[in-house]
């Protein structure tokens, strides 16, 4: 991998603290043709030594501070897995950030560049390797890539009902060997056991081709905007959860129903669908559907109201719709709308999925979310709902959010997104402010997570996956602690939540795969100074990142 950095950085920074594949620049050289010239000018001015013919412009994004050009590295006509150059231009057309994750291609035998198995063969091979006895949950995906040091590989995504899961498999395209099998979904807590071990080996395997035919025949596309009127509704919900609202940390899943009475709140539902006299929890921001087991259709209403209690599935449905719809609208209020929008279409969500497990997950391959029930149902707690939305936010900003420390940072950001909202609610600053999943966790169900875990500190020699044990805590808390404690310090000192969230969100733009915590931390500090040059927000972040030895 090629690494570069410039000694041009924000005030009071030591460059040895930064991952050197990330470059910040205060260059005043503007580009005459931004899209076409971004690669050429960045490559030439910063002496990256890259060949233009080896790259394609794959995507362009616009954020609050400028434009971001995502160039995919290619080799012999194939995309190189995890290798890209991202060039950021500010509003004046000047280079402000470069993320260089390109690779030097290793010499290999010519046989490594000739795929000897077809895409169909690779899909069938993976299907049999999983030992599938159920059905497809989503359209399978296959992509032929060049993996440096390996040659041509198929990256396969298979979502199956038994074994239940969303799987990413890597197959050698010349030998037909399976290189890796991973859980492609992002659960809010580590799964109890690998899903692959949960199928019944005594049952016969099913045919992939027959399962694919059945799946494609079963698909009935729903046009959200066909013959639909959007209208307001009403709901009874927790906001964010009974622990915060009531100030009671002694509540358990089996606590008497009467204890929750004062925790319910009546809220307006924005833009739900009204079709043929029936109200649906489907809108321009959120669409509730059923795509995972158990087979439970989303609740509808004859009068536009969802007045249910926590023991009923309808309550979980409306909790999910309201909190995600509200959070997406909050994103838009920060300026992430129109050309700056993070979400370009309605998010599809299964409020009663995950095969009935006491867990929830975001699925990057389909950009869907699903919530499980069990013990305290996950969507009884807005912390869980907003945590999963946090994964969606990151993946919509940066579709290459994988590798490096992104596992731990994804969980940490989700915890931050949930907790920073909870703080702003009634009694939010008074009830275990440094807990996340205050109702779903921190009880007899599971211990939840904390946001003030100062014991673990960053070790540059390792990589931090999601939910991984570290000294004194877990990897997720290593990232959530500094960003949430910085938030808490500023919020208590009168800094609007909106300003703080703008910094964190904007800092995610202009990055690619393999992001490490120092990369993300430096981007946050730099963004804080660019968005608010007359404030000391960057110094607050710097202090908290230094405390965890991230910077």
Q: How do the pLDDT tens digits run along the chain, 551 residues long?
A: 333 333 222 222 222 333 358 888 765 444 344 455 789 878 888 888 999 999 999 999 999 999 999 999 999 899 999 999 999 998 888 889 999 999 999 887 777 678 999 999 999 999 999 999 999 999 999 999 999 988 999 999 999 999 999 999 999 999 999 999 999 999 988 875 444 444 455 566 789 999 999 999 988 765 655 678 899 999 999 999 999 999 999 999 999 999 999 999 999 999 999 998 999 999 999 999 999 999 999 999 999 999 999 999 999 999 999 999 999 999 999 999 999 999 999 999 999 999 999 999 999 999 999 999 989 999 999 999 999 999 999 999 999 999 999 999 999 999 999 999 999 999 999 999 999 999 999 998 899 999 999 988 999 999 999 999 998 789 999 999 999 999 999 999 999 999 999 999 999 999 999 999 999 999 999 999 999 999 999 999 999 999 999 99
Contact criterion met (CB below 8 Å) for 355 and 164: yes
Structure tokens at 45: 């001015």
Residue 446 to residue 46: CA distance in whole angstroms: 50
Q: What are phi and psi of 75, to 5 degrees?
A: -145, 125
Give the helix/strand (H/E) hosting 278.
strand 278-280
Residue 180 to residue 194: CA distance in whole angstroms: 14
Q: What are phi and psi of 278, to 5 degrees?
A: -125, 135
Structure tokens at 143: 């992509």
- Mapped onto helix, strand or coil, the DSSP state of residue 489 is helix
Residue with tokens 């869980």: 384
Contact criterion met (CB below 8 Å) for 80 and 400: no
Provide the whole-model pTM.
0.93
Domains and CATH numbers, the chain: 15-100 (3.10.450), 110-184 (3.10.450), 229-252+261-547 (3.10.170.10)
Give the distance from CA 156 to its chain's centroid. 20
Q: Classify residue 5 by its DSSP letter.
A: -
Residue 14 to residue 138: CA distance in whole angstroms: 47
Alpha helices (H) in 162-309, listed in sequence order: 208-218, 242-246
Cα Rg, the chain, nearest whole Å: 24
Residue 172 to residue 130: CA distance in whole angstroms: 16
- Mapped onto helix, strand or coil, the DSSP state of residue 67 is strand
**Span between the terminal Cα atoms of the chain, in Å:** 22
């Amino acid at each position: 991998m090629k690494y570069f950095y410039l000694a041009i950085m924000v005030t009071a920074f030591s460059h040895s603290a930064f991952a050197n594949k990330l470059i910040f620049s205060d260059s005043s050289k503007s580009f005459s043709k931004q899209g076409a010239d971004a690669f050429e000018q960045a490559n030439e001015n910063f002496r990256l030594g890259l060949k233009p013919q080896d790259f394609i412009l794959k995507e362009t994004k616009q954020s609050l501070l400028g434009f971001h050009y995502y160039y995919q590295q290619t080799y012999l006509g194939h995309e190189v897995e995890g290798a890209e150059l991202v060039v950021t231009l500010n509003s004046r057309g000047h280079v402000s950030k470069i993320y260089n994750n390109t690779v030097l291609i290793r010499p290999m035998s010519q046989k490594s560049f000739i795929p000897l198995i077809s895409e169909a063969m690779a899909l069938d091979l993976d299907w049999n390797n999983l030992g599938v006895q159920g059905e497809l949950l989503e359209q399978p995906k296959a992509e032929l890539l060049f993996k440096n040091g390996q040659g041509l590989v198929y990256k396969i995504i298979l979502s199956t009902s038994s074994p239940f899961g969303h799987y990413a498999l890597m197959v050698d395209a010349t030998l037909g060997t399976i290189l890796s099998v991973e859980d492609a979904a992002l659960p809010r807590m580590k799964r109890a056991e690998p899903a692959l071990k949960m199928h019944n080996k005594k049952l016969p395997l099913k045919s992939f081709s027959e399962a694919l035919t059945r799946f494609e025949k079963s698909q009935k596309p729903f046009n959200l905007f066909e013959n639909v009127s959007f209208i307001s509704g009403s709901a009874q919900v927790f906001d964010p959860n009974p622990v915060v609202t009531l100030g009671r940390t002694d509540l358990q899943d089996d606590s008497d129903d009467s204890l929750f009475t004062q925790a319910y709140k009546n809220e307006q539902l924005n833009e739900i669908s009204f079709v043929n006299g029936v109200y649906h929890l489907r809108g321009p921001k959120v669409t509730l559907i059923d795509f995972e087991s158990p087979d439970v259709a989303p609740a509808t209403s004859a009068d536009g109201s969802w007045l249910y209690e926590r023991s009923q599935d309808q309550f979980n449905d409306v909790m999910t719709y309201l909190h995600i719809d509200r959070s997406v609208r909050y994103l838009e209020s920060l300026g992430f709308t129109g050309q700056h929008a993070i979400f370009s279409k309605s998010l599809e969500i299964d409020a009663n999925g995950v095969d009935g497990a006491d867990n929830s997950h975001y699925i990057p391959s389909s950009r869907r979310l699903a919530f499980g029930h069990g013990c305290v149902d996950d969507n009884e707690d807005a912390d869980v709902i907003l945590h999963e939305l946090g994964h969606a936010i990151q993946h919509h900003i940066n579709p290459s959010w994988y590798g490096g420390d992104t596992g731990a940072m994804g969980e940490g950001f989700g915890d931050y997104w949930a907790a920073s909202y909870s703080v702003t609610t009634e009694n939010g600053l008074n009830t275990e402010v440094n807990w996340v999943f205050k109702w779903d966790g921190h009880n007899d169900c599971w211990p939840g997570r904390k946001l003030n875990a100062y014991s673990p500190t960053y070790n540059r020699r390792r990589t931090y996956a999601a939910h991984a044990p570290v000294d004194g805590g877990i990897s997720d808390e290593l990232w959530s602690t500094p960003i949430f404690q910085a938030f808490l310090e500023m919020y208590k000192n009168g800094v609007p939540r909106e300003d703080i969230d703008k910094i964190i969100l904007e800092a995610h733009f202009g990055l690619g795969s393999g992001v490490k915590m120092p990369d993300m931390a430096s981007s946050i500090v730099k963004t804080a100074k660019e968005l608010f040059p007359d404030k000391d927000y960057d110094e607050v972040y710097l202090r908290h990142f230094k405390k965890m030895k991230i910077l």
